[in-house]
Structure 1
Amino acid sequence: MDSFAKKVRTFDAFPKVDSEHTVRSQRGGFSTILTMVCGLFILWVEVGGFLGGYVDRQFSVDDEIKSELTINIDMLVAMPCEFIHTNVRDITGDRYLAGETLNFEGRDFFIPESFNVNNANDAHDTPELDEVMQESLRAEYRVTGARMNEGEPACHIFGQIPVNQVKGDFHITGKGFGYRDRLYVPYEALNFSHMIQELSYGEFYPFINNPLDATGKITEERVQSYGYFSKVVPTRYERLGLIIETNQFALTEQHHVFRVDEFDKPEGIPGIYFKYDFEPIKLSISEKRLPFLQFVAKLATIIGGLVIVGGYFYRLYERLLLILFGKKYAQKDTERKSGGLLDKEVGVHREYSS
């Protein structure tokens, strides 16, 4: 039993080099300290990454069948509300009078500060997971179909429009242009300058940034047409069990000024057009964490590799010193432990001499 215990105490899965075959030096001590510092830094980084998790992005075919969603709109148009006609038309031929659910509030036209006006909307960044989770406050408009102060110079249009989840467009035109109406807007009253505070699809999250938010266009033309083309991608954000279903969209623009014939009739229908289409894919953005055993294995692999690489660099450094400055300089400040073969022979010789 004692012999077995002794063997267990002396067992070492990674046998060390005997002390009489090792050489100490200041350079070796410095390299050991440097390797330990690097190892602690890597340990700190990896543990922090494990606790914080990582963001995983996956694309998949959207297998959810959705028949409807909402368009969230909040914008200001430089025309009186009584002159404006709003409508939705989709690929199925279905039409929806958006004026029945939208709110129209007459007010003065103005350009808010920090709005991106008359510039291409190509500087938009996709919201990150942290940003979405911090600003995921869902909202709804309290009123629908309200009309107030319609005779004011500009019209504040806001609300939600239920639409079919198919290709379509929501457009804002002057009454009498493109549709029969009792009122025909005078040519001199047409002005489709506009400021967009919000345009999004699906659940209404007013603080999540979208490509057309805080943008606007100013024009002096009376028969101006603005076209915004959106490619909508369903997006799912997930963290710690909290799930947010929303939609991102890519945007392109096409603007045109129509010619007017000799009868003062434009050759097209001026207005503001929001055309949308839905992609058959879904983007899932979620925060994940490595399994603990996988994390331990990864950490052990990194630390082991660091020790091996540190040993290789130290031996390379010693070899360069030997080549460049000679053996005497390379062995400077080194110390070999006693106990080697020569030390034993010297000890025996001294014993016989005495």
Structure 2
Amino acid sequence: MLIFLVFLMWVEVGGYIDGFVDHQFTVDNETQAELRINVDLIVATPCNYINTNVRDATADLLMAAEKLSYEGVGFFVPPWYVVNGRRPVRTTELDEIVQRGMPAEFIQREQQAFEGQPACHIFGSFPVNKVKGEFHITAKGYGYHDRRRPPPEALNFTHITNEFSFGDFYPYLDNPLDETVRVTNEHLHTYQYELNVVPTYYRKLGMEVDTYQFSALNFDKSATRQVPGIFFRYDFEPIKLLIEEKRISFIQFVLRLTTICGGLIVISSWLYQTFDRLLVIAIGKKKASRGEERPHGLLE
């Protein structure tokens, strides 16, 4: 019984020191007008054929090409990337989030070098309004008039997603589209992603990480009647997820220890009485009480 008591006390002390992770959903009442989208993509089409834009529900049109960097590269798929599939869902622990929550910035290239390369590396961050919108990568002259329209056989929207995230850029945090690949053999093909974004706030022992989580659904089909390209449609949920490490108060901790000790005393007493009754039933009252009689003195 003593060993069991020590074990329970140890568990309570450990729980008090380590704390617990609390998850709460609240209404997102922040008046943040803008945030950033961070992208790192490789598209199997030369950079001089590609156009990138953002359009949102306020009818604003952002020329994302002015904010992003372009680099001509060869198209290579790392062997550990997920090809034409979904990444396994994994819930990241709070400790891991805090350890990896180191903000960074993309290196902005002043000169765009992409001549003669079969693929285009598109990377960087750009601001968007915090409303429903769409970021798309299309070929020049498709969906609108442009004299630089490339021939269909020069296009292929097979792409590698190294990074796609919202808010501050945390390169070591995992996102649903990171390290995924979409492959097609068609020259005119459309990829569409539907993203539902939830603001998420992590807090642990004074360390804070303010970021965004999102779920992703993807569709693709031949672009015989549609504009070929890659379309990321995003929408922001009106809720916010707060994940925080908390501890119970010291008074609650003492009360829980007292309750454990009191409960063990009551259980011990109940077990003793039960054992005594079973002993009386098994061997009889006289034998069970043998040795309890008061010894007689010489004068009695």
TM range (shorter): over 0.9
Match of 1:77 among 43, 46, 65: 43
- Matched AA of 1:250: S
* Partners of 2:221 and 2:268 in 1: CA distance: 66
Q: Does 1:152 align with 2:103?
A: no
User: How does the TM-score come out when normalised to structure 2?
Assistant: 0.93
1:257 positional shift: 1.7
Partner of 1:56: 22
User: d(CA) in 2 for partners of 1:313 and 1:343?
Assistant: 26
Q: Which residue of 2 aligns with 1:125?
A: 90
1:343 aligns with 2:294: yes
Root mean square deviation of aligned Cα: 2.2
Q: Structure 1: how far apart are the matches of 2:233 and 2:129?
A: 13
2:148 is matched with which residue?
A: 183
C-alpha deviations, 1:83-119, integer Å up to 9, x for none?
1111101011111111101111001001012101111
Of residues 235, 244, 255, the one that matches 1:297 is: 255
Mapped to 2, the partners of 1:228 and 1:64 lie a distance apart of 26
Q: Secondary structure at the match of 2:251?
A: helix
Does the aligned pair in 2 maintain the 1:58–1:285 contact within 8 Å?
A: yes
Which runs of 5 or more structure 1 residues have no equivalent in the other structure? 1-34, 259-265
Matches within 5 A, 1:308-319: 308-316=266-274, 319=277
Shift of the 85–317 alpha-carbon distance from structure 1 to 2, 3 Å rule, reads farther
Aligned pair in 2 of structure 1 residues 73, 305: CA closer, same or farther (>3 Å)? Answer: same
Q: 2:68 aligns with which of 102, 106, 126?
A: 102
Do the aligned partners of residues 77 and 299 (structure 1) sit closer, same or farther apart at CA in structure 2, a change above 3 Å counting? same
Give the structure with the higher percent helix. 1
The equivalent residue for 1:17 is none
What is the rounded CA distance, in whole Å, between the counterparts of 2:96 and 2:146 in structure 1? Answer: 45
Q: Is the 8 A contact 1:127 1:208 kept in 2?
A: no
CA deviation after TM superposition for structure 1 residue 316, in Å? 4.0
Give 1:92's match in structure 2, choosing from 33, 58, 76: 58
TM-score, normalisation: structure 1: 0.79
Contact 1:82 1:151 in 2 (8 A): no
* Cα contact 1:100–1:144 (8 A) shared by 2: no
The answer on whether the counterparts of 1:101 and 1:145 sit within 8 Å (CA) in structure 2 is: no
* Contact map agreement 1:106 1:156 (CA 8 A) in 2: yes
The separation in 2 between residues aligned to 1:219 and 1:229, in whole angstroms, is 19
The residue number in structure 1 matching 2:229 is: 271
Identity %: 46
Partner-residue secondary structure (3-state), 2:72: strand
Change (3 A) 1:320 1:141: same
Specify the code of the residue in structure 2 equivalent to 1:165. Answer: K
Q: CA deviation at 1:144?
A: 5.4
TM superposition shift of 1:317: 5.0
Task: Name the structure 1 match of 2:283.
Answer: 327
Alpha-carbon offset, residue 310 of structure 1: 3.9
Residue by residue over 1:105-154, the C-alpha shift from the partner in whole angstroms, topping out at 9 and shown as x without a partner, is: 00100101210111134x22232210111111110123156411233001
Distance of aligned partners of 1:126 and 1:145 in 2 relative to their CA distance in 1, 3 Å threshold = farther
Report how many aligned residue pairs link the two structures.
Answer: 300
Q: Which amino acid aligns with 1:154?
A: A
* Higher mean C-alpha displacement, 93-102 vs 142-151: 142-151
Structure 2: distance between partners of 1:286 and 1:201? 20
Following TM superposition, by how much is the alpha carbon of 1:75 offset from its aligned partner in structure 2, in angstroms? 1.2
Which letter does structure 1 place at the counterpart of 2:164? L
CA distance in 2: counterparts of 1:335 and 1:229, whole angstroms? 82
Contact 2:98/2:208 (<8 A) preserved: no
